[in-house]
Amino acid sequence: MTHKWFVFLLVLFCVAGGIMAQDDTTDDTQAQSTVEIFVVLCEDRAVVQFTGVMQPGYDIYYQIFSQPGGAGTELTSLRRVQVNGSYNFSETVTYSGGTIPGNTAGSMYTAIAVEGNPSNAVWSDYVSDLQDGCRDNTSAPAGDTSTPSSSSSTTTTTTSSISNGQFSDGTSAILSPFGGVVNPNYIPPEKPLVQLGAREEFILPRQETPGLVFAECEDYDVAEPGIIYDTDNVIVFWSWFARTQDQLLDHIENANYSVTYYQTLPLPNPITTGIRRERGLYWVFYYSVLGNLRPGQYYIEYKVTWDKPIFDGYDEYGPGTDYPELVSGCEFTVLPNLQGVPVSHNPWPYQYLNP
C-alpha cells in the first residue's frame, strides 16, 4: 500500500511554465483574497509574478532564500507588493545576499499580510524552484507592474477526482517538489484485462520532466520515468501529506525513511523542504539530486516506518496499526545521450560498490 490520493476541490487558473502555488484567505465577513504565484529562481535574480484578488487593507510580501523552505541565506530583503482588487504584478529582482548555484534549489516566502505590518500575516507559504539555468531574457508571463485596478475577477472552480495519482482525464496529479506535477500531460496506456496473442511492446516515453523520478513510481503508472539520458539531471523525490499541519509535523518527527539503491546504499544528501499548503492539505517533500548518472539500470527502494503511531487525517500508520510500514520502489534506465556529448558522470553508486 502507498499513501493514498483523494478528491479535492481545485480552483483552476491558466498560467504557463514556472512554479505555481495557490491558496486563499477568508476574513470574518467572508471576503476572499487570493494569490497565484509564478517564480523562476535564477543564479543571481528571481522572476516573480503575483495574480489574484486582494481585499482592502492587505498586501503581498515576499523574500528569496538560497535553500528550500526559507533555509540558507536571505538573498533579498522582505519586499512589499501593494495590491488592491484584481491585480497582476510582475518584476525581476536581483539578489543582494549571494547566489543560487546550479542544480540546487532555492525558495520564495510569500505572505498576505496587513498593509504596513508584514508580521500580521493571514496566509503564508514557501515555494521552491530548482536553479537549472536561465536565459538572459527569462521573464514572467505578461503582467502589469503599475498600480493594479480594482475591477472584478472571475475564476473557474471544478471538482477533479484523483485516483492512483491521476486526475480524471488520466494526466498526472503527483506533485513535484519544484512546483507543478511530475510528467505533465502523460497518460499511461491502458492495460488489457485479458491478453490474447502477442503482447504489445511498451515503448518508453520521453517525459516532459526528464530525470525527475518519483521513488514510488512502481505503484503509479503515470509516474513512469521514461527515457533518461546521461545528460539529464536525475533527482529522486518522495512526499507526504496530512490534513493538518500538526499531523504533518507528527509524521516528520517520527518517520524513518530508507530510500536506497538496490537496498544497499542510501541516496546521498537528501533534502527536506518546508511545509507547503497544496490542494487544501499540508505537504512535505524530500529529494536527492543525483545529477548526470552513468548509463545503466537503477532501482530505488522506498521504505518508511515510524517510531510511534501517526494519523494523517485519513488513516493511522506506524506500530500497532494496519500500516506499520510502507514499501515501494522505482526502476529506471539511464541511456547514453544521442549526441555523444562528453559527460562528467556522477560516480554514485559505483564508487561504493567497486572501490
pTM confidence score: 0.58
**What does the pLDDT look like over 39-75, one tens digit per residue?**
888 999 998 988 888 988 899 999 999 988 888 899 9
| pLDDT over 60 (residue 328) | yes
Average pLDDT score over residue span 178-195: 79
Peptide bond into 210 cis (omega under 30): no
Domain with CATH 2.60.40.10 in the chain: 9-136
- CA distances in angstroms from 143 to 10, 44, 53, 291, listed in the order given: 24, 21, 14, 34
pLDDT range class, residue 355, cuts 50, 70, 90: low
Res 249: pLDDT: 95
Alpha carbon 157 to chain centroid, angstroms: 22
Of the candidates 260, 256, 259, the residue with the CA atom closest to the CA atom of residue 306: 256
Residue whose grid cell is 548526470: 292
Per-residue pLDDT, 160: 37
- Name the CATH superfamily for 9-136: Immunoglobulins (2.60.40.10)
CA dihedral in degrees (89, 185, 219, 325; nearest 10)? 0
Kindly report, residue by residue over 266-320, the tens digit of the pLDDT. 999 999 999 998 877 899 999 999 999 999 999 999 999 999 999 998 889 999 9
Whether the predicted pLDDT of 20 surpasses 60: no
Taking the C-alpha atoms of residue 121 and residue 115, their distance in angstroms, rounded to an integer, is: 10
Identify the band that residue 114 occupies on the pLDDT scale cut at 50, 70 and 90.
Answer: confident
